[in-house]
């Protein structure tokens, strides 16, 4: 399997180089030269396979002979070693809970797969790998947990001081060892700029083998397809489900569209957006216009210029089954009201991101009577107790996987948003 650059289709690399490079020159997104087809006997008998077997079968054609089968089996087994329950909310709406991983974010799956693939690659190269990532909260925690103690890989996580929640702060800073938390006296944009400057620094790149862990890395993209197969394994109805994906950088929904292009039978996809709605506007007007980011209560979706946009378009072009894609956008006020009404009427507590997914599915079903669907619950509500508490009048319960975070272990290195300071902390 080769990956070509969507900017320049004659630029082709294998799985290993695509993962290590992150992106092709001139910000090109990697895309499989040919989309593999999942064998019919798997698609028709999804519920007879374990999630490990499914994950292996989906991943194998994307990896090719770059990782031997036994190692790949081990990698995917570790990647998906928690539950992905499908919970009925009412007769036509289901929630696929993707927050049972170690940090309570769906990003755990992509980060765990990426870390294990890189660890495999690092074993046969004598150069240490250095993962550099800027985070506004969720990605950094998932990356820290996934890479902890992966020897031969150093991780630097830059996050804006005072702008992540208390739980996120602990999740970012409690690991130590190969995980370096750099607390930047600035904004998320400052963090991103510092990371970008390091990636572009020719001299520095002679000393470090930098790896990007952001959502355009194909290791994250390919592994996010798992959710959609797991959802279909559990789907109790004949008619395929419509799937609503709370969307920001469009990594997750482009993985869903990829799964569909490989043969998975789903209904339409819905990109559920908050007030950052470049994709919603594009589907209405045919014009893609990146915008300034707007701050909302579903902050992991606050993305004005979604980096996987071209992959979404390419997946739609490549899909023989001609996926339908719709998108709706909702305000923070509407999101809060949805959290409250579903909590009161259906006894189900949604987080602010999942709630946007719920709203979009509900809106779609209003004009498609008889359809049924799934929205993805992308984060545990306890991660957003400051938002949830005033809406429902109590704190969300803390899941047991969060109890291991010990604030007293917290350690971060504080830096000013200056490139010189970042350089002093890389070692």
Ligand X SMILES: *Cc1c(COP(=O)(O)O)cnc(C)c1O
C-alpha to C-alpha distance for 313 and 369, rounded to whole angstroms: 27
Task: CB nearer to ligand X: give 116 or 311.
Answer: 311
Q: Report the candidate in 51, 52, 211 with the shortest Cα–Cα distance to residue 143.
A: 211
Task: CB nearer to ligand X: give 120 or 311.
Answer: 311
Strand runs (DSSP E) across 241-339, as ranges? Answer: 242-246, 269-273, 325-329
In whole angstroms, the minimum distance from the beta carbon of 304 to ligand X comes to: 12
In whole angstroms, the minimum distance from the beta carbon of 125 to ligand X comes to: 29
In the region spanning residues 350 to 369, those forming contacts with ligand X, defined by CB under 6 A, are 353
In whole angstroms, the minimum distance from the beta carbon of 327 to ligand X comes to: 12
Task: CB nearer to ligand X: give 63 or 273.
Answer: 273
The 10 Å CB-count burial string (b at 16+, else e) for 244-262 is bbbbbbbbbbbbbbbbbbb
Q: How many residues bind ligand X (CB under 6 A)?
A: 16
In whole angstroms, the minimum distance from the beta carbon of 141 to ligand X comes to: 10
C-alpha to C-alpha distance for 74 and 123, rounded to whole angstroms: 15
In whole angstroms, the minimum distance from the beta carbon of 419 to ligand X comes to: 27
In the region spanning residues 159 to 218, those forming contacts with ligand X, defined by CB under 6 A, are 215
Q: Is 225 in the site for ligand X (CB under 6 A)?
A: no
Task: CB nearer to ligand X: give 22 or 251.
Answer: 251
In whole angstroms, the minimum distance from the beta carbon of 48 to ligand X comes to: 30
In whole angstroms, the minimum distance from the beta carbon of 268 to ligand X comes to: 17
In the region spanning residues 227 to 266, those forming contacts with ligand X, defined by CB under 6 A, are 246-252
Instruction: Report residue 418: phi and psi, to 5°.
Output: -125, 135
**Can you tell me which of 378, 381, 405, 412 binds ligand X, judged by CB under 6 A?**
378
Q: Is 300 in the site for ligand X (CB under 6 A)?
A: yes
**Pair of tokens at residue 15:** 């799985």
Q: Mark out the alpha helices in 124-202 (DSSP H runs).
A: 138-147, 166-173, 188-200
**Can you tell me which of 243, 379, 388, 422 binds ligand X, judged by CB under 6 A?**
379
Strand runs (DSSP E) across 216-320, as ranges? Answer: 242-246, 269-273
Contact between 276 and 330 (Cβ < 8 Å) = no
Contact between 297 and 270 (Cβ < 8 Å) = no
In the region spanning residues 84 to 143, those forming contacts with ligand X, defined by CB under 6 A, are 105, 107, 138
Task: CB nearer to ligand X: give 67 or 191.
Answer: 191
Contact between 291 and 304 (Cβ < 8 Å) = yes
Task: CB nearer to ligand X: give 12 or 100.
Answer: 100
Contact between 401 and 382 (Cβ < 8 Å) = no
Binding site for ligand X (CB under 6 A): 105, 107, 138, 215, 246-252, 300-301, 353, 378-379
């Amino acid at each position: 399997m080769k990956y070509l650059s969507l900017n320049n289709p004659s630029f082709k690399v294998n799985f290993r180089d695509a993962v290590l490079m992150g992106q092709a020159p001139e910000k090109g997104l990697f895309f499989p030269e040919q989309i593999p087809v999942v064998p019919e006997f798997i698609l028709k008998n999804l519920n007879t396979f374990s999630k490990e077997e499914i994950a292996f079968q989906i991943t194998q054609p994307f990896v090719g002979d770059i990782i031997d089968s036994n190692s790949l089996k081990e990698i995917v087994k570790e990647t998906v070693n928690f539950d992905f329950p499908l919970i009925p909310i009412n007769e036509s709406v289901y929630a696929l809970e993707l927050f049972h991983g170690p940090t309570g974010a769906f990003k755990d799956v992509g980060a765990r797969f990426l870390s294990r693939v890189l660890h495999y690659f690092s074993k046969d190269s004598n150069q240490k790998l250095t993962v550099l990532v800027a985070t506004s909260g969720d990605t950094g925690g998932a990356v820290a947990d996934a890479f902890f103690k992966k020897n031969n890989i150093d991780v630097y996580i830059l996050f804006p001081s005072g702008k992540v929640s208390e739980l996120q702060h602990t999740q970012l800073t409690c690991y130590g060892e190969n995980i370096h938390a750099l607390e930047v006296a600035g904004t998320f944009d400052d963090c991103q700029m510092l990371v970008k400057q390091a990636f572009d620094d020719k001299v520095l790149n002679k000393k470090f083998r930098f790896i990007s862990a952001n959502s355009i890395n194909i290791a994250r993209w390919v592994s996010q397809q798992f959710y959609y197969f797991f959802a279909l394994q559990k789907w109790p109805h004949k008619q395929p489900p419509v799937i609503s994906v709370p969307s920001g950088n469009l990594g997750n929904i482009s993985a869903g569209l990829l799964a569909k292009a490989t043969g998975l039978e789903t209904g339409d996809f819905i990109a559920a957006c908050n007030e950052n709605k470049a994709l919603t506007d594009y589907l209405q007007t045919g014009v893609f216009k990146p915008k300034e980011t707007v701050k909302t209560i579903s902050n992991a979706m606050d993305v004005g210029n979604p980096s996987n946009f071209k992959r979404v378009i390419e997946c739609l072009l490549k899909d023989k089954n001609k996926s339908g894609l719709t998108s709706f956008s909702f305000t923070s006020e509407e999101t809060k009201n949805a959290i409250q009404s579903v909590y009161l009427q259906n006894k189900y507590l949604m987080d602010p991101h999942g709630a946007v997914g719920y709203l979009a599915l509900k809106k779609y079903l209003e004009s498609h009577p008889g359809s049924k669907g799934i929205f993805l619950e992308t984060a545990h509500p306890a991660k957003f107790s400051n938002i949830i508490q005033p809406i429902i009048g109590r704190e969300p319960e803390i899941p047991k996987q969060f109890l291991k975070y010990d604030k007293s272990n917290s350690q971060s290195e504080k830096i000013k948003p200056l490139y010189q300071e970042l350089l002093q902390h890389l070692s």
